[in-house]
Chains A and B, each alone.
Chain A
Amino acid sequence: MQTAVQPADGPHRTKSFEPLLVLDDIRKNYGAIEALKGISFSIGKGEVVALLGDNGAGKSTLVKIIAGGLEPTSGTMLFEGREFLAKSPAEAKAAGIETVYQDLSLATNVDVVANFFMGRELTKRVLGIPVLDEKAMESVVAKAMASAGTKIPSLRTKVEHLSGGQRQAIELNRFVHWGGKLVLLDEPFAALGVEQTRRGLEMIRQVASQGIGVVIITHIMQQAFQVADRIVVIRQGVVAGDVARRETSPDAVVAMITGETLAGAGPAG
């Protein structure tokens, strides 16, 4: 099975490559319109893949399919070597795949600890009644934040008082802490400043270094080159390029996005 999809991986692999998610000929039709015309590529453990492409190229559709928000018309996905197709975001999440949208998964009216443990709160019994064990939860969050190198002034601050970068850090740390394996980031730095973006990119490297696969959708070439190990370009529903960052240049990637050339491209479906 592995060998069957091997060509999709392209020729630019290091030897230690361990595939986390392998997409094989994913197609999605909306009536007569083919949004995805056979997408094949893979994401390795601890690899950061930047997904680039013009508006309407099919990036969002693809990400939704991976995260369980949409069902593909045809094609298969292998997640950790097993065939996997999430029927709902909840199912994808249970398997360890999650999309992190800005602000969509935080309750800004409660503090960092509450958000970190959202839906998984620890309790202790006081007079037989299960009450929230705030101390235990806070120490877990403090440890997780510290090991990720994230600094937040107070874990008891309501999230609405934190910056966009800090919110993203909470979401990512939460994702890692609860056993996430593949995270999809849709325009993660759209609303962030220069310094926050720099820290965000650092954090992504940090997340990846723990063996987690990261897919970043972005429009900003510079960011893709700063953080990604590999750049995958989607154009008109096909993979127009699948190249290691070191072996390409922004100009070459722009050419793939606009379709001037398919130089350095992987299989084009």
Chain B
Amino acid sequence: MHPSTRRSLEFVLDNLVWFMLLFVLMVFSALVPNYFQPGIFANIIEASSVLGVMSIGLALVIIAGHMDLSVESVAALSAMAVGILFCSAGIGMGVQLEPDWLAVPVSLIISLAVGGAIGALNGLLIVRLKMNAFIVTLASYIWVRGIVLAISGGRSAQDLAPVIRWFGVQRLLGLPLTAWIAITCFVVFSVILGKTRFGRHLIMIGGNENAAFRAGIKVDRILMTSFILAGAIAALAGWLLAIRTSGATANLGMGLLFNAFAAVVIGGVSLKGGVGALPGVYAGVLLLSAINTAINLMGLPATSTQVIHGLLVLAAVLLDTLKLSIRQKLA
């Protein structure tokens, strides 16, 4: 095959999801009434902030060749912790700080600490004790959600402190600050993954852990860091989720895990590890959000969303396999 043909094919494969997003947006704009307007596009970005942030952490561990199923429950626990402390209704304790803006950093720190701690526990079991990542994080998925149910007693917290809510209300260039936080996260972690030694090592570990180890890369430390990051990032998603819903319910965020998986895989991250970049994951998140918005606008019953998401996950995994076989033919 001609080198330039291969290069352009590689480019398409590497950025397939952006082409898909563009295609889907064009099709919806043409076919769905009222789809083509700035407000809708802003809404797509806004609606994808929680899922987007969560997908970053998930993508990091998958690229490193592992798995984290606990991100959804960690986000829920983080949201519930913020809800219980800083909500004034329901089970919220309505903690008041002086000055009141302190609630922002305090809630954020608590959130990140909870997520980081669960991530560290996952990492410890997987990296140090060599337990299977799938099983360990599946267990975390279950027990962390259990803690959410236990501390909330199945009830909900409402009316989040206005200083925290402010991030969901205040807009900059038509987007709420929560969306800008998500975008910032994508930019920061894209740079970390693509341009720093840590990111490069993470990718190489995902490709050939043994080779990375033989080359003197501190594999354990980097894997540990990636699990802690995944936990902390999931907790940040939970913090944003609490803002979005102005509180927390016991079943908050249920099903987000599968959407995050779909986004990550659609975004070009291979479940085999070592392949993928975060800009693609963001496109995957936007793609899901664009489809959701279309379903809403077309007035389809909300139940159909779940069916479509399920099919999308299937399509994404199929696509992953397909891309792999195309790449093998390229080689």
Contact = CB atoms under 8 A, between A and B. Distances in A.
A132 B211 contact: no
Interface string A148-177: 000001100000110000000000000000
A119 interface: yes
Contact of A123 (B191, B197, B206): B197
Given A109-B274, A109-B275, A114-B200, A119 B207 contact: no
The interface residues of chain A, by DSSP majority, are classed as: loop
B215 A118 contact: yes
B221 to A, nearest CB: 13
Contact of B204 (A114, A129, A132): A114
B196 A104 contact: no
B196 A105 contact: no
Nearest to A154: B3
A123 B203 CA distance: 17
Contacts of A104: 208, 210-211, 214
A119 B191 contact: no
Most buried by B among A107, A131, A154: A107
B271 to A, nearest CB: 13
A105 B212 CA distance: 7
Interface in B197-227: 197, 200-201, 203-204, 206-208, 210-212, 214-217
A107 B64 CA distance: 12
A170 to B, nearest CB: 12
A108 B206 CA distance: 10
**Number of contact residues on A: which range applies?**
20 to 34
Interface string B160-204: 000000000000000000000000000000010001110011011
A72 interface: no
B216 A108 contact: no
Given A118-B215, A119-B201, A107 B208 contact: yes
B207 A93 contact: no
Contacts of A130: 196-197
Interface residues of B, number: 24
Contact of B3 (A109, A118, A131, A153): A153
A121 B212 contact: no
A195 to B, nearest CB: 18
A114 B197 CA distance: 10
Most buried by B among A90, A118, A161: A118
A110 B207 contact: yes
Contacts of A129: 196
B45 to A, nearest CB: 26
Contact of B195 (A114, A131, A153, A161): A131
A234 interface: no
B191 A106 contact: no
Contacts of A119: 201, 212, 215-217
A121 B331 contact: no
Nearest to B216: A119
B204 A118 contact: yes
A121 B215 CA distance: 11
Interface of B: 3, 191, 195-197, 200-201, 203-204, 206-208, 210-212, 214-217, 274-275, 327, 330-331
4 closest Cβ pairs, A-B complex: A109-B207, A109-B274, A107-B207, A119-B215
